[in-house]
Structure 1
């Protein structure tokens, strides 16, 4: 959740800004290092399955930034691509494991570990459904999605700034595009197994290859299959997570000019809904980070997600192409859960401080959603006089339905269902039945949109990007908990433009400026049943990009200024309704990122963020820094050996709406190592939170604060065949 408060922030100049900016500007000089070490072996082996070796951290393009094959140096916005190589070197198994190494991105409340929730440049998405997220360019975060697994992910694209002109309903801070692994036309297979702290076990299979064809006739069908099974206990008492994922993909070459791809994913997660720890006298650290304030006998919350994507690409000519995308998603979330709850007023409101007693409520959830999307894109290249155009036109249709039922207890019975925070005793059950609707609603919306984007090459050095999208949104919300309550209809229209200019000053340097607008429809109402206007954002950005002559590494410096109105947050007196905030909020900041292979065998990824968030917004640090370095070398008896390490630092943040609870700044370190014994066998060892730091990475309110994990060691074995 985005915590909102009326506090006043002071603006202070950070010396780190100057230091990081100078670092980025001076880094090109390390080209001399690479030249002086030219005798070292260059490790350019490309692996197709399993963990990568000798790849890059620096990408030259992005599928999601423009929907065209435009080099990132020409894109007038900051884009950070987390490559598969970096995912592998970090030992990342979840999206959360890579977030700390991307500038401008911060973790938010993840609903007790039930889904991903990420803020970009100080703006989060929907209160329940998280950030703006795409899967292969299609909206993919509506409903209830378990945390994303990395097993079937080729890369994560963090598209900073406004993307409303292409994707509509989104945040002005940015959008993330998840690109999945595609079938390959050469057979390759990988089996991985991991064992780690807290009894965690994980097995993963990645297999791909052609389904037909022979020496005389090329294959026309190929497959890819990723399978994951995982079980792990937690540093949190009574918390055990079980996950299974099956992700099949198929490619058909229907004709030499036409290709159809199916990309599916079936994921099930079973785990308790864990709200974390609580504060005492508004301070964290009063209770152990392992203490669980739920009820073990409640069992698991089960989340089941299925996604089906069909992507058709057809070349009309050498310059024109057509793409059609159809997606269907179905998500469910069911189970029983008890949670410490900050009920306002009465003895319960102060019982934690005065009696060491936390009030709890028990709730039963039965949530389900269905999401259907259709996209049609036409892309072409042509000239008008001396101007070269890359034109994209498209239409999109979305249909989304959401069914939420959450039952709890009546009146004061919830106050009696408490727990001693210092000496918890489990097994007590509330005397009253679950017969009161905390949430009981149907949400249905339809969106029709048309968009146009023109990328104009004014000269070889000057590139103009102009785009606009018009969305027609039709939504309906029915509160079934209130007898006779009328259905609330929302029918806003939105036009979202985007304009950007890039100057390719030299073959290695580019400067850019851009502006754009976004909107996000609100899927909830106020306590009185009134519809809340869509959130509307305006983003301005300017920056510089540099990449080495060999395109092995690069850096980006970006300045941004984002404004948003019609923001809404929880109405604490009338949960689960929203209340609109008056006026506008404004976030400004600076981002610096460096990524790539700076010398033979050396890969780096560094980021710095300075965020001057609006006084109405909390949960965001003023300064955040991260760095990760890997060195790879030939082993004495063959193969490759790699060792790396890094750190993330996040500054102090406010954790509650009243700005009375603060999450302390923290710095955590990690180490990674691996040995590619040969082209088939690899062993790895990862250590997270090396110095066993106690820290808290996010909060929802003063009763739901999520601590970070203590030191965690993971050993892995990967075999290609």
Structure 2
């Protein structure tokens, strides 16, 4: 890798640690109570180490909304997925959860090098992926490996616009990952897994007090995944320490870190012959094995200070720093097969990318009475800086040496074409924001939530090859308002509306920065929760419009302009929780019409990539005690996805009568079972794609189609000590 001139952020981080500390995820009253509690109860969460929290899929709290309102009273659709669901799904990675959340679908994952999803039909930046949060801090600006679940306590899918709280985001929703917290009672667990396609994984979860005022948590994971794709192996490791220090009865300092290393070949998947998938087996790799691995590495550090000013008010300060690198060679297919429908031309690339992201937050939360009404007030400040460095060399051969491969009879090891300079840019973004949120209790039946955020963004893009430097200062004001009506003790009706924005990365043909995307979303729905808060459901109808979407420049081939407009509307349903003492359920259903409304190149009315009109899931588990002692559980799941557009459809294709390229619908089944031999020893079995169906997870174009895994069996052993 080239020497990094921009790697100064660790020094900035160290300096800021000396003067700062905060935020973002504990609820005000809970944090206040914890701050005054004895050391052994300083954390508001209670966790069974190495396994589940409780025995239900349903959660009544959501920290990403930054309000004390219970989930049933919040005027927003949210799906919270805890350790129980992750365990029953056998999910070691975040993307294994997407199919079990209403309105969420997988998107192009950059050849297996990052997580990418759409919520309610809308995906994120094509160069960086979907915005996500980690403990309330923006977590995936820059380059990020697929997230491991070893240190995840729960995943909050916050549907609808979140810009009024978090700034740059998608109007369809965002994801807040909440990590596992230190333990005040010593406990330790180790897990080992082995499965199909040379899959091996070990994980350690350990925690306990280091004194009366200090506690720790450490999660480790090592994974070696052979995979079902020829020549595509994956190795990854995670180190995630966390420390809590009770500085005083009303003051607490939390530190959490993640060091994630991910190594795998960049794999664009299989190709379609014409519009037909299946001609090429799902195992076939069409790159070059000699390219080796692409290496993605992340280091994340968060430091949060909370201080209870009194019984009603809480202050938080915090800092987050994240470094990401992506480096390696790849061989990637061109957009179409040659006329013989078997020769695939390819290009070779070398990427050397790095990102440094540092952010600071400060918040004041409290309760007050005004005008005879109860208010829960949040006032916050945020500043962040992102440095993106992209250097890419590329060879795009043609003529007598096209660097092609026969998709039916591949021969590897061809002479490598010479790489030439292609991209060499440095992009800096600086943002300063202020935000307010007020949650008002309008008597016993009504809740009103209003929020407003102002962002001032400075974006500079330097093209090192040409010396061109461009600047812009896109400011944004993001309002949100929502109302809930508690119709009965179990039923809630709600509605909300909000705006969003997100800067577009990259540059146009003239080297200028793009105008930021802007979005508007409305939502109405209903929620239900049983009397003991162990089972809940949420149904929402939505309508979203997004403008300044990047689209092809009609006058400059290979470049983009911010001129497109898309719309998504439909409904999503989530049901989760405990049906009885023995049965627990997670179910989802979504219908989405996501389409192009304006574009220079694409067909107006065409659907958006990888978004099925109809999708749904069901996960059902049964548990009981064994006559001779111990406990067992058995269950399974189904995930359905309808047909999806697999390649952007142009006006020219539509005018010629050419059929759109689509991914077929699919249903996959899974089986899950466990035997708790003793309270400290557990044996598990997971079978994914039980009936070994051929299916396709996502696509970017007909020569970049990601096939889903065949039947996969994983046997696990979990021990506590």
TM value normalised by structure 1: 0.89
Alignment correspondent of 2:686:
686
The 5-angstrom pairing of residues 431-510 of structure 1 reads 432-437=417-422, 439-481=423-465, 483-484=466-467, 486-510=468-492
User: Is 2:609–2:699's contact at 8 Å kept on the other side of the alignment?
Assistant: no
Q: Deviations over 1:369-424 (max 9, x none)?
A: 00000000100100013200000000000100000011012663796211111100
* 1:570 shift after superposition: 5.3
The 2-side partners of 1:304 and 1:570 are apart by 31
Task: Provide the secondary structure at the position in 1 that maps to 2:100.
Answer: coil
When residues 576 and 127 of structure 1 are mapped into structure 2, their CA distance, relative to the original with a 3 A threshold, is farther
The 1-side partners of 2:426 and 2:558 are apart by 14
User: Is 2:197–2:227's contact at 8 Å kept on the other side of the alignment?
Assistant: yes
Alignment correspondent of 2:703:
703
When residues 414 and 522 of structure 1 are mapped into structure 2, their CA distance, relative to the original with a 3 A threshold, is farther
Which structure ranks higher in relative contact order (CA pairs < 8 Å, sequence separation ≥ 6)? 1
When residues 608 and 385 of structure 1 are mapped into structure 2, their CA distance, relative to the original with a 3 A threshold, is same
Residue of 499, 503, 506 corresponding to 1:517 = 499
Alignment correspondent of 2:34:
none
Alignment correspondent of 1:184:
183
* 1:355 shift after superposition: 5.1
The 1-side partners of 2:330 and 2:278 are apart by 24
Task: Provide the secondary structure at the position in 2 that maps to 1:64.
Answer: helix
The 1-side partners of 2:342 and 2:567 are apart by 39
The 1-side partners of 2:329 and 2:162 are apart by 38
User: Is 1:173–1:562's contact at 8 Å kept on the other side of the alignment?
Assistant: yes
User: Is 2:53–2:83's contact at 8 Å kept on the other side of the alignment?
Assistant: no
Alignment correspondent of 2:665:
665
Alignment correspondent of 1:239:
232
Alignment correspondent of 2:291:
298
Task: Provide the secondary structure at the position in 2 that maps to 1:416.
Answer: coil
**RMSD between aligned residues:** 1.6
Q: Deviations over 1:547-588 (max 9, x none)?
A: 000111011110001111111145599676423334x32211
Q: Deviations over 1:647-706 (max 9, x none)?
A: 000000111112721100000000000011121000000000000000111001111000
The reply to whether residue 547 of structure 1 matches residue 547 of structure 2 is no
Residue of 270, 275, 279 corresponding to 1:282 = 275
- 5+ long unaligned stretches in structure 2: 1-44, 596-604, 650-658
When residues 576 and 453 of structure 1 are mapped into structure 2, their CA distance, relative to the original with a 3 A threshold, is farther
Residue of 361, 365, 373 corresponding to 1:375 = 361
Residue of 384, 387, 391 corresponding to 1:405 = 391
The reply to whether residue 390 of structure 1 matches residue 380 of structure 2 is no
User: Is 2:159–2:172's contact at 8 Å kept on the other side of the alignment?
Assistant: yes
Alignment correspondent of 1:642:
633
When residues 393 and 560 of structure 1 are mapped into structure 2, their CA distance, relative to the original with a 3 A threshold, is same
Alignment correspondent of 2:655:
none
Alignment correspondent of 2:38:
none
The 1-side partners of 2:438 and 2:54 are apart by 37
The 1-side partners of 2:486 and 2:54 are apart by 29
The 1-side partners of 2:587 and 2:337 are apart by 44
The 2-side partners of 1:632 and 1:120 are apart by 32
* 1:325 shift after superposition: 1.5
* 1:458 shift after superposition: 1.1
When residues 533 and 193 of structure 1 are mapped into structure 2, their CA distance, relative to the original with a 3 A threshold, is same
Q: Deviations over 1:327-364 (max 9, x none)?
A: 0000101111111122xxxxxx551x415111011111
* 1:640 shift after superposition: 1.1
* 1:526 shift after superposition: 1.6
Residue of 211, 223, 229 corresponding to 1:230 = 223
Q: Deviations over 1:259-291 (max 9, x none)?
A: 000000001011101100011113211100110
The 2-side partners of 1:185 and 1:571 are apart by 58
- 5+ long unaligned stretches in structure 1: 1-44, 213-218, 343-348
Alignment correspondent of 2:646:
655
User: Is 1:359–1:414's contact at 8 Å kept on the other side of the alignment?
Assistant: no
* 1:48 shift after superposition: 2.0
